[in-house]
Amino acid sequence: MEISALGRDEALLVVGGRKVRLSRRHSEIVVLLARHPEGLSGDELLCALYEDESVPQVTLRAEMARLRRVLGAELLRSRPYRLAVPVECDADLVERRLGTGAVAAAVAAYAGPLLPQSQAPALARLRHRLADQLRAALVACGDPDLLADWAHAPWGEGDLVVWRARHALRPTPPVLARVR
């Protein structure tokens, strides 16, 4: 199973040659379960998905039943909730490349923030951690072209850390205005 969740609000899942675009909530669930192959209890998944602690377990069970219909009963297990097949997620690929020091390859694989519109607490943490790791690696490697690629991407336009690092490597000449 392959999951594309970078730069997308709704993940694209490829399983058995079949492509499925997941809803936002199902995208969040599948990415979280992919990150936890050992599985997550209902309480753990509830905490990961909802900021509001008053969300009842029945809400999660209903989402899991709908997701089971989308994926197929053979792919989604319970007690604990987990995926029954190995999963390759694009976010994991970026992390692996960063782990081996392949910063250019990690940047090339990064299609944007992980599920950018997700408000799920665990997804927000994953999204920020991945962006922070990538930013730190970019600044550390000091490649002006990679820094420029990040700074000019939609997710890097306001990234002052990267802009400063880029400027330190390639100062831009001051703009002179012509006065008449």
- Do 72 and 119 fall into the same domain? no
Percentage of residues in the chain having pLDDT higher than 90 = 67
Q: Report yes or no on 32 lying in a domain.
A: yes
Q: Report yes or no on 73 lying in a domain.
A: yes
pLDDT at 178: 60
In this structure, the strands spanning 2-4 and 12-15 are antiparallel
Mention every residue, 6+ apart, whose C-beta is less than 8 A from residue 1.
Answer: 13, 14, 15, 75, 83, 85, 86, 87, 88
pLDDT range class, residue 177, cuts 50, 70, 90 = low
Domain that holds residue 116: 90-169
12, two tokens: 């694209």
pLDDT range class, residue 170, cuts 50, 70, 90 = low
- Do 14 and 54 fall into the same domain? yes
- Do 99 and 78 fall into the same domain? no
Report which of residues 178 and 8 the model is more confident about. 8
- Do 72 and 113 fall into the same domain? no
Q: Domain of 39: which CATH number?
A: 1.10.10.10
pLDDT at 173: 59
Q: Report yes or no on 177 lying in a domain.
A: no
Domain boundary among 42, 67, 83: 83
Domain boundary among 53, 83, 113: 83
pLDDT at 73: 84
pLDDT at 10: 97
Tally of domains within the chain: 2
Mean pLDDT rounded to a whole number for the chain: 90
pLDDT range class, residue 174, cuts 50, 70, 90 = low
pLDDT at 31: 97
pLDDT range class, residue 179, cuts 50, 70, 90 = low
pLDDT range class, residue 57, cuts 50, 70, 90 = confident
- Do 71 and 102 fall into the same domain? no
Q: Is the pLDDT of residue 142 over 70?
A: yes
CB 38 within 8 A of CB 96: no
Domain boundary among 83, 104, 139: 83
Q: Report yes or no on 179 lying in a domain.
A: no
- Do 13 and 69 fall into the same domain? yes
Q: What is the pLDDT of residues 102-131, one digit of tens each?
A: 999 999 999 999 999 999 999 999 999 999
Average pLDDT over residues 62-85: 92
Give the separation between CA 61 and CA 110, rounded to whole angstroms. Answer: 32
- Do 96 and 23 fall into the same domain? no
- Across 96-129, b (16+ Cβ under 10 Å) vs e yields ebbeeeebbebbebbbbbbbbebebebbbebbee
Q: Report yes or no on 121 lying in a domain.
A: yes
Q: Report yes or no on 175 lying in a domain.
A: no
Q: Is the pLDDT of residue 169 over 90?
A: no
- Do 149 and 95 fall into the same domain? yes
- Do 30 and 45 fall into the same domain? yes
